Amino acid sequence: MMESEDDTPRISIQGARSFGRAARAKADRQIEAVDVADEAGVDRDSLWATMRRLPAGVTVVTAVSDAGYLGITVSAFSLASLDPPLALACIHTDSQIAGAIQASGGFAVTILDGRQELVAEMFAGRAPRPDSAFAGLPHRTRLTGAPILEGGLAWLDCRLAHALPAGDHTIFLGLVVAAGVAAGHDDPLLYFSSQYRRLAL
Ligand SMILES: Cc1cc2nc3c(=O)[nH]c(=O)nc-3n(C[C@H](O)[C@H](O)[C@H](O)COP(=O)(O)O)c2cc1C
């Protein structure tokens, strides 16, 4: 993973901070080894410490509810199948949007640009959330009616195919019925070790 050239905090909002290279280097020095085994399932802290080592792209999954639009920041998003075109998102079942995806039968996914850290924080509930019309947050819809956020790298629009319970999360598997790439965007927002990162291009 390459470091950003920029050492200055990019954004500072309600309890959320993006640190520069110096702070990250310091954090890296505090990484401790983990080695656990338990047939009943490893403990949450060890699992989290392990998964924090996997750099992830950041998406916002959106859906239409009776009360308007909902969205959630999701890194657990992946292509599941090319033929048929299926994508999956793991979303914690208590989330408001989980019910909306089930009820509306669809969801959209916006893959965030490196400059959309604030958008990620909004939909993670760590910055003021947009209103139910996503006013002030440019968006459009395609086939399902779920909003696709402007400014992202790419997007997918999915009809819900299966909702599989998976512990405290639900795996939403969707048939991709529309997809697109924004011209000129080539700098994804990444999340690694509980911090937003950028690729050094
Ligand atoms: C970078 C990032 C990635 C996240 N990825 C996921 C995810 O894959 N699935 C999930 O359920 N929550 C994920 N979250 C947490 C949710 O965005 C957060 O819990 C959100 O506020 C839930 O919305 P709710 O208030 O409707 O429950 C992520 C948060 C961040 C900051």
Instruction: Check whether 21 has a pLDDT greater than 60.
Output: no
Q: What CATH number was assigned to the domain covering residues 57-190?
A: 2.30.110.10
Residue matched to tokens 């909702």: 163
Residue of the nearest CA to atom 5 in ligand 1? 74
How many Å lie between the centroid of ligand 1 and the Cα of residue 195? 14
Chain mean pLDDT for the chain: 89
Instruction: Check whether 54 has a pLDDT greater than 60.
Output: yes
Instruction: Check whether 138 has a pLDDT greater than 80.
Output: yes
Contact between 201 and 1 (Cβ < 8 Å)? no
Q: What is the position in ligand 1's atom list of the atom closest to the CA of 169?
A: 11
Q: What is the position in ligand 1's atom list of the atom closest to the CA of 96?
A: 26
Using alpha carbons, list the distances in angstroms from residue 164 to 88, 89, 109, 173.
Answer: 10, 10, 18, 8
Domain boundaries, the chain: 57-190
How many Å lie between the centroid of ligand 1 and the Cα of residue 31? 23
According to the model, what pLDDT value does residue 17 have?
42
Using alpha carbons, list the distances in angstroms from residue 127 to 12, 14, 154, 184.
Answer: 10, 6, 23, 27
